[in-house]
Each structure stands twice: as structure tokens, then as C-alpha cells.
Amino acid sequence: MARVFNKMWLTALFLAAASMAVALTGCGSDGDSNSAGSGGGGSGSTAAVSLGKAANYAILAKTGVATVPISIVTGNVGLSANSRTALTGWAISADATDTYFTSPQVVAPGKLYAADNVGGSTTVDLTAAISNVETAYTDAAGRTATSAATTNVGAGTLTSLTLVPGVYQWGSSVTIPTDLTLSGSATDVWIFKISGTLDMAAAKNVILTGGALPGNVFWQVADAVTIGANTNFKGNILGKTSITFGNKATINGRLLAQSAVNLDATTVTIP
């Protein structure tokens, strides 16, 4: 009898320990998935926006890509559904198969592509990339703001701010009159949802600290984007309409517009 009792007691003890282990494991998982830094965000708490095939381009637009020479682009330039005539200011040369163009303003191995290139898979690739831009825009626009602290920050005027990772949302236009700092790690993500225009003053900077990467910054803008002269900008711009950069401005990121991109001796570097 004692032996049977001991066996039953040991079995009950084993089951209780197993249940406790499962419960603790579940608690740990929930804590990791919901962790957040001060002010929202935090490492891994915001998922990046997938750009799909659009990630292959430093500049991608539907109606035109214009430059006042000489802009310098490191990365590919794509235009669809408009034709090569809307690639203005680039001094382009077509390859023998009319698959792509080269230009002294696009650093090799980068190339320019337009919807009327007849060689290779250019037309198919551009159609897919433009579709992916639209999907990425919708994805970003549908994200929920991380917290009340990331909603309508500064009433749309971002003056001398340092922003932690997270999803930020404005029901208005946004103006950046000073330097703007984004502080976080290499795995952190920023998504800025702007229902109006985005304007940044001349000779200002978007500064990344703590190891933050420009490829993890997304600007979803429902109206025109205008970046001032001599400004240093960071991130992927998902523009519903036009994106315009002033004279000698620079960007480490992508210009993905659903209408036109306009450059003025601009330096564009894909992340």
C-alpha cells in the first residue's frame, strides 16, 4: 500500500511541475512579444514594412523621374507605367537589347528602367515593383499608432525632437523645421504615418543614433513630400503623390512615389 501511495504521490508531483513549466514558458513568450521601450517601440516590437520588389530600386515612380543635373544615384531608378521620355535630365543610353539605360548620374552597377523597355523582363519587373509599392503604402497606412505618445506629436511640427522606435501618426501635415533624431538599435523600426504633406526645412538633418538603420525607417505620406535644399534625409519615403528634393539635398533611403520624383543635384543612396 505504501509503495502504491508513493507512486501516486510522485506522479502527481511530476504533473504539477510540468504544468508550472508550461505556465512559466507561456508567460515568458507573452513578455517578449509585448515588450516596448519608453515612449513606445522598442527592439523588435514594430515589424518593418515589406517593400517586395520595390526594394530593388533607389527611386521608383509612376509618372516621371526628373533631375536638374547633376544628381547622383547609387541604386536603380524605375519608371512605370510611363515611358522613357519621362526620365528627364538623365542623359540616358540604352543597352543593345533595350532592357535598361545607363547614365553618368547613376553609379554602376545601377541602371535606369522604364515601362517601354522591350528587352528582358523589365516591364514585368516594374509592374510587380509598382504593385509592391502600393501594397507597402497600404500596409504602413494601416498600422496602429504605438501609443498616445506617438499620436500627433508636436501637433505636426517636429522641433528639436528625439524619437524612439514605434508607429507615429498625424491627422495633419508634418513640418520638420530643425534637426530630427531617431534613437534606437539596428533592429528597431520607425513608421511615420502622415495624412497631409511632409515638409523639411533647408540645411537640416535626420540623424540616426544608437545603431539605427535608414532601411528601417518608413515615411508614409498621403500628400506631397518637399525636402529643402542641403538637407540630409533618412528612410524610405512611400509617397501617395510627388516627392521633391531641393538643391544638393541628400537621402540615404528610397524615393517611392505614386506620381513623380523631382531632384535638383540630389544625392540618393539606397540603404
Distance CA 180, CA 207 (A): 6
pLDDT digits 0-9 by tens, 71-126: 999 999 999 999 999 999 999 999 999 999 999 999 999 999 999 999 999 999 99
Segments of 42-200 assigned E as strands:
57-61, 64-68, 72-74, 76-79, 87-88, 93-94, 101-102, 106-107, 112-114, 162-163, 166-170, 174-176, 180-183, 190-194, 198-200
In one letter, which amino acid is 48?
A: A
pLDDT tens per residue across span 203-231: 999 999 999 999 999 999 999 999 999 99
Residue 140 binned pLDDT confidence (cut-offs 50, 70, 90): very high
142-160 pLDDT, tens digit per residue, is: 999 999 999 999 999 999 9
Question: Please, what is the average pLDDT of the chain?
Answer: 88
Section 180-197 average pLDDT: 98
**Three-class SS state of 128:** helix
Residue 2's contacts (CB-CB under 8 Å, 6 or more residues apart) are none
The answer to whether the Cα torsion of 207, 204, 260, 221 is positive or negative is positive
Cell of 147: 501609443
